Amino acid sequence: MPEFPFLSFAAGFGWATLGVVVLLAATFALAQVQKRHSVIDTAWGLGFVVIAVITFITSADVSGASAGDDGRRALMLILTAAWGLRLAGFIGWRARDGAEDPRYEDMLSDAPGSRNAYALRKIYLTQGIVMLFVSLPIQVAMYSTGPLGWLAWVGAVIWLVGFFFETVGDYQMAAFRGNPANKGTVMDRGLWRYTRHPNYFGDAAVWVGLFLVAADSWPGVLTILSPALMFWTLSNKTGKPLTEKRLSSRPGYREYIENTSGFFPLPPKPGRGASS
């Protein structure tokens, strides 16, 4: 088995880090112009695209037996770019009204000292570090040797399932919110009938899929904590819990929770008025 090019990987990680710093600096500057830090939500997906592109370029410089497999490099770049660009475009479209996200308003309302300095530490620095950690399967896969195996294709299928749930779930929710007749009601149709969070489930599945593409070749399996962090964050930290806390007082939401799976898609419980 060819030796993994750790020195080349470390150099590529350095370039990826620089790319994230530049992106977040530009995002912070834009936040000052627009007077809202929620613009970083759009930069989240773009950050992974930046990391994937930079790592794809730097990994191309490795030659000989330690060179990364071109098929795996291309597959990882395509999957990451498709996910990141889709997410960034959707979030940017959703935030087109220019209002600050209530989450960031609450976080910064009690900021000690400078609001912007606090935002840099609590929002930008934190997201940059998480971005680099979560993207480790992408970066490692770019330098991994050996042809694509069955595990990588299983990962691609799981990624496709996740991408479907995230994309279709976002579209269905946007259409629901766009109808004034639905104001104050609970979305329990389409994919939202089978899971209360098809977008978060889809996002988690995307990262499990990317991890499996990386784990197809050593040492990708060592990056398992990256998808684990995303899964835990989406299901137990800032994704599902915060969303449900915000919606808990909405009429019909308690019944929706009783009828519908919290994360993994499952058939709705019968006999409790689930919508068709």
Same domain, 153 and 267: yes
Amino acid at 67: A
Residue pair 167/202 in contact by the 8 Å Cβ criterion:
yes
Same domain, 93 and 214: no
Burial class (CB in 10 A: 0-12, 13-18, 19+), 231: buried
Predicted local confidence at residue 8, as pLDDT = 95
Same domain, 91 and 225: no
Query: Which residue, among 93, 112, 125, 103, has the nearest Cα to 36 in the 3D structure?
Result: 103
Q: What are phi and psi of 260, to 5 degrees?
A: -120, 140
Same domain, 120 and 36: yes
Amino acid at 247: L
Same domain, 99 and 179: no
Q: Residue 56 is encoded by which pair of tokens?
A: 């794809």
Which of 120, 146, 172 is where one domain is finished? Answer: 146
Task: Provide the domain count of the chain.
Answer: 2
Same domain, 158 and 274: yes
- Residue with the larger pLDDT of the pair 183 and 208: 208
Same domain, 135 and 170: no
Predicted structure pTM score: 0.92
**Placement of tokens 């799981």 in the chain:** 158
The rounded mean pLDDT for the chain is: 91
Same domain, 69 and 200: no
Would the pLDDT of 60 be above 90?
yes
* For the chain, percent of residues with pLDDT exceeding 90: 72
Which of 96, 111, 146 is where one domain is finished? Answer: 146
Beta-carbon count within 10 A of 14 CB: 12
Which of 146, 177, 192 is where one domain is finished? Answer: 146
Same domain, 131 and 168: no
Predicted local confidence at residue 1, as pLDDT = 57
Would the pLDDT of 107 be above 80?
no
Predicted local confidence at residue 135, as pLDDT = 98
Is residue 99 very low, low, confident or very high in pLDDT (cuts 50, 70, 90)?
confident
State which H helix or E strand residue 240 sits in.
Answer: helix 240-247
Same domain, 98 and 184: no
Torsion of CA 198, 201, 205, 207, to 10 degrees: 120
Would the pLDDT of 216 be above 90?
yes
Same domain, 8 and 108: yes
Would the pLDDT of 82 be above 50?
yes
Same domain, 134 and 159: no
Q: Residue 97 is encoded by which pair of tokens?
A: 């009204």
Q: Residue 185 is encoded by which pair of tokens?
A: 């009601």
Q: Which domain holds residue 247?
A: 148-276
Cα 83 from Cα 134, distance rounded (Å): 14
Q: What are phi and psi of 238, to 5 degrees?
A: -95, -10
**Placement of tokens 């990056």 in the chain:** 223
Q: Residue 80 is encoded by which pair of tokens?
A: 């990451």
Predicted local confidence at residue 275, as pLDDT = 40
Residue pair 213/135 in contact by the 8 Å Cβ criterion:
no
Cα 44 from Cα 84, distance rounded (Å): 8
Predicted local confidence at residue 39, as pLDDT = 93
